[in-house]
Structure 1
Amino acid sequence: MSEMRLHDPAGNRLYLNAEERAAFLAAARRQPARDRTLCEALHWTGCRPSELLEITPARVDLSGGTIAVRSLKKRKDASGSAKIVFRSVPVPPEFLDTLNTAHGVRESQASRKKSALPIWPLSRVRVWQIVKRVMIEARLPDAPHRSPKGLRHGFGVHATVQGVPLHMLQRWLGHAQLSTTAIYADAVGKEEQYIAARMWG
């Protein structure tokens, strides 16, 4: 298994910084409803595109303020059998309002059939294309971090900068090992320098 990194071998950043995340979110909010909610869901949950495509209305807790995401990385229980792991990720109430309005989440939850259908019935390639287009519109530089994975890593770095405990972030991101999540703590120093430089300027 390859080790997760926040910089490529040439030292290029593989995550969106705070300014880029804000620009992406602003650009997403100018999109049609489907693309806007898709981008916002990735922004607010840090989930992988393949995990996003499995989200159904039944997994959206409008009153609890969370979205249940199925971890698609293979896990095994004590007997060695594959197990299904869900994680509940808290999201802002405003996003849930937007999601409900755009996709009729509450109405779909009243129907067993509708509540089991994906909110975004798209392919992974289509999700990648939408995210990439929005990132270009947000004027993010043409660099390795301009990707859905850069958005996920940006979520992890942002959460760490904001003081979210690593064990909680581990759960939100669906990492099997805390050591994987700990890479985000390594990036905090660089982000703090960036924030400090803006303060000094």
Structure 2
Amino acid sequence: MSEMRLYDTAGNRLYLNAEERAAFLAVARCKPARDRTLCETLHFTGCRPSELLEITPARVDLSGGTITIRSLKKRKDASGNSKIVYRSVPVPPEYLDTLNMAHGIREAQKSRKQAAAPIWPLSRVRVWQIVKGIMIEAGIPEAPHRSPKGLRHGFGINATVNGIPLHMLQKWMGHAQLSTTAIYADAVGKEEQDIAARMWGQDSLGVRKSVVQ
């Protein structure tokens, strides 16, 4: 298995930064409901496109505020047998409201057949095309990070910058090993400045925060 990285061998960034993530989301929210919710799901859960295509209404917890995702990476139990692993990722209530309105999630959950049907009955290639098209429109430059994988890595970086503990991020992203998740602590540029600013007791503009005595 190849080691997961945030940069390719030429030093090119493999993740979307905060500005690119915001631009991507802004453009996605102007698109038809199917494409908008597809992009918002990738943005807010950090899931892989193949995992997104398995999400059904039954896996959307409107009251609990989570999306349950089946981890597609193979796992083995103590006996060495393959096992299925699910993870629940907390998401914003506004996103869930949009998802429910666009796809009739609450109504679909009343029918066993509809509750088990994929929300986005598309191919992986089509998902890639939708995401790439929106990234281009958002002005994200042609580079290795302009991809669904770049969006997933951006989710990990964003969580790290905002102080999410690595063990929690490991669960949200479906990593088998904490060492895999730890690559997101290797943030650079603007992201690293934000992390360092908290250590110094400053904001990202270098203005020292007031301290309550």
Pairwise TM-score range, normalised by the shorter structure: over 0.9
Secondary structure in 2 matching 1:193: helix
Amino acid of the residue matched to residue 199 of structure 1?
L
Shift of 1:188: 5.2
Cα distance in 2, alignment partners of residues 189 and 163 from structure 1 = 17
- In the superposition, relative to structure 1, how do residues 76 and 52 fare at CA in structure 2: closer, same or farther (>3 Å)? same
Residue deviations 1:27-52, cap 9 Å, x none? Answer: 10011000000000000000000000
* Matching residue of 2:124: 124
Q: Distance in 1 between matches of 2:138 and 2:5?
A: 24
- C-alpha distance in 1, partners of 2:120/2:114? 13
Contact 1:161 1:188 in 2 (8 A): no
| Map of 2:148 onto structure 1 | 148
Q: Secondary structure at the match of 1:75?
A: strand
Cα separation, partners in 2 of 1:181 and 1:74, compared to 1, 3 Å: same
TM-score, length-scaled by structure 1 = 0.96
Tell me by how many angstroms 1:194 deviates.
Answer: 7.4
* Amino acid in structure 1 at the alignment position of 2:132: K
Which residue does the alignment assign to 1:30?
Answer: 30
Report if the CA contact (8 A) 1:66-1:88 is conserved: yes
Give secondary structure in 2 for the equivalent of 1:152: helix
C-alpha distance in 1 between matches for 2:205 and 2:23: 19
8 Å Cα contact 2:7/2:14 also seen in 1: yes
- Counterpart CA distance in 2 for 1:73 and 1:194 is 32
Q: Distance in 1 between matches of 2:184 and 2:49?
A: 20
Q: Which of these two proteins has the greater Rg computed from alpha carbons?
A: 2
TM-superposed deviation, 1:199: 2.7
User: 2:161 touches 2:194 (CA, 8 Å); kept in 1?
Assistant: no
| CA deviation after TM superposition for structure 1 residue 145, in Å | 0.2
Give the RMSD, CA atoms, in angstroms. Answer: 1.6
Q: How many residues align?
A: 200
CA distance in 2, matches of 1:63, 1:32: 25
- Taking every aligned residue pair, what percent have the same amino acid on both sides? 82
Query: Where does residue 41 of structure 1 map in the other structure?
Result: 41
* Structure 2 match to 1:199: 205
Aligned partners of 1:160 and 1:188 also within 8 Å: no
Distance 2:7 2:134 in 1: 22
- Counterpart-to-counterpart distance in 2, 1:161 and 1:60: 27
Which sections of structure 1, spanning at least 5 residues, go unmatched?
none
Other-structure match for 1:2: 2
Measured after TM superposition, the shift of residue 120 of structure 1 is: 0.2
